[in-house]
Structure 1
């Protein structure tokens, strides 16, 4: 094989390998659902205060790659945030995505009528640092929504 062909082959293979490795870091819908169920069970067994502190401290049980747990109360207050501790304790009811969608307000509305649901919006991807389409799975627990999202 000539040197030029080797360079072309490397140029084709390296981006493919990088994309495959990047995709391996991506959470899936079943993983998001499983993490929500784990968080709901943990909150029930350990109590909200302890669980919220561990979620916000990015405990590996609740934060893996681009998957992380977020908990909101029925007013839109963030009770725990597994990726950005600064958001825990903040009222986020008026938070909007890049398209102007009030995603927390919509989440709270869904929580009031459904025990579990998926919600689509756009959000900053922790891996790419870019605004990306996101789908978040939530389960209602008492007057809270326990959520984990995946990036598409």
Structure 2
């Protein structure tokens, strides 16, 4: 029992630290964890976990989203259910960059990579620079981004 309490406390401390200041390494690890989970449990279960804000895939401002690699339609998002099922591929960021298209193109052409853009930070309410790690897994793109400090 003591080991379980200690492990739980450690997980909470790590999750708290990650939620406050995630790194690019954290984003890559979270997306790769999502890819491994999806390969083991399937796309439908991954969508459920993302939507339920499973702490393995959602820790503060760092979270995994999923989109279809061919259509660009968002399949799962833990914080913004209103964009799920929509194709926002050509909706630009604050600087006019069609970053969602770049996410799809990066995943389709290279399998993985980073995409930079401007996005509203829910913590500050301001448009800020963001970078997102993308990884193609079969017919979807898993992505996790963080705001640049």
Q: What range describes the TM-score normalised by the shorter chain of this pair?
A: 0.7 to 0.9
Equivalent of 1:70, from 51, 65, 86?
Answer: 65
1:99-122 deviation line (CA, Å, top 9, x unaligned): 011111111111221011000001
Which residue is equivalent to 2:41?
A: 46
Equivalent of 1:59, from 49, 54, 60?
Answer: 54
Unaligned stretches of 5+ in structure 1? 1-21
Structure 2: how far apart are the matches of 1:56 and 1:95?
Answer: 23
1:59-107 deviation line (CA, Å, top 9, x unaligned): 2111101101111112110011122122221112122100011111111
CA RMSD of superposed structures (Å): 1.9
Equivalent of 1:147, from 135, 143, 146?
Answer: 143
Which residue is equivalent to 2:81?
A: 85
TM-score normalised according to structure 2 size = 0.82
Q: Aligned residue pairs: how many?
A: 132
Q: Which runs of 4+ in 1 moved over 2 A?
A: none
Which residue is equivalent to 2:120?
A: 124
SS at match of 1:58: coil
SS at match of 2:66: strand
Counterpart contact for 2:22–2:146, Cα < 8 Å: yes
SS at match of 1:93: coil
1:25-83 deviation line (CA, Å, top 9, x unaligned): 02110100000011111111111111112102212111101101111112110011122
Larger-Rg structure: 1
TM-score normalised according to structure 1 size = 0.80
Structure 1: how far apart are the matches of 2:34 and 2:79?
Answer: 15
